[in-house]
Amino acid sequence: MSLIIKIQCFSLSLYRMTTNSNKAGPTALWKTIKGRDVKTNDGKDLGKIKDISENYIHVEKGTIHKESFWIPKYIGDAFDGKTLWLLIDEEEIRGKYQYGKEPPAGDQYAKDFESFKKTPYGQIGNYGADFDESIRVIENYKNIRDLK
């Protein structure tokens, strides 16, 4: 009987933590997922997280002929414990975010974010108050490819 009561109390405090922090579930700090794989919503492997700045995730793929991407954090959808999943497909990533160096910080990032939130992909994004510091964690993540 006391075991059941303890479990119920734990669930209640977890619910409070989730509600008070305005999140839909657990999160991981961006800095803790450095070195992890990155995949697009169509299941394509983009490489590994090389670095994380204030607004961007630096992803590299390859050893000799490296491809380098600077992807805004708001493009990140979820982390499943092994892979960071993005909201958009490989073609769009390659067309918009394949850079050799980090884009300059400033008002353009905020403008791009506001524009992105109006797109179909941006409307399904989960932007908590601290999305720039953490990414939501979903164990059994289903991307678009899995839903077809």
End-to-end CA, the chain = 45
Domains and CATH numbers, the chain: 25-147 (2.30.30.240)
Cα(90)–Cα(3) distance, integer angstroms: 48
Paired sense of beta strands 83-86 and 37-39, if any: parallel
Paired sense of beta strands 27-29 and 45-52, if any: unpaired
Residue whose structure tokens are 């579930």: 25
User: pLDDT (tens digit, 0 to 9) for every residue of the chain, 148 residues total?
Assistant: 444 433 333 222 222 233 333 345 677 888 899 999 999 999 999 999 999 998 999 999 988 888 999 999 999 988 988 999 999 999 999 999 888 888 877 788 889 888 988 988 888 887 777 777 878 787 766 654 454 4
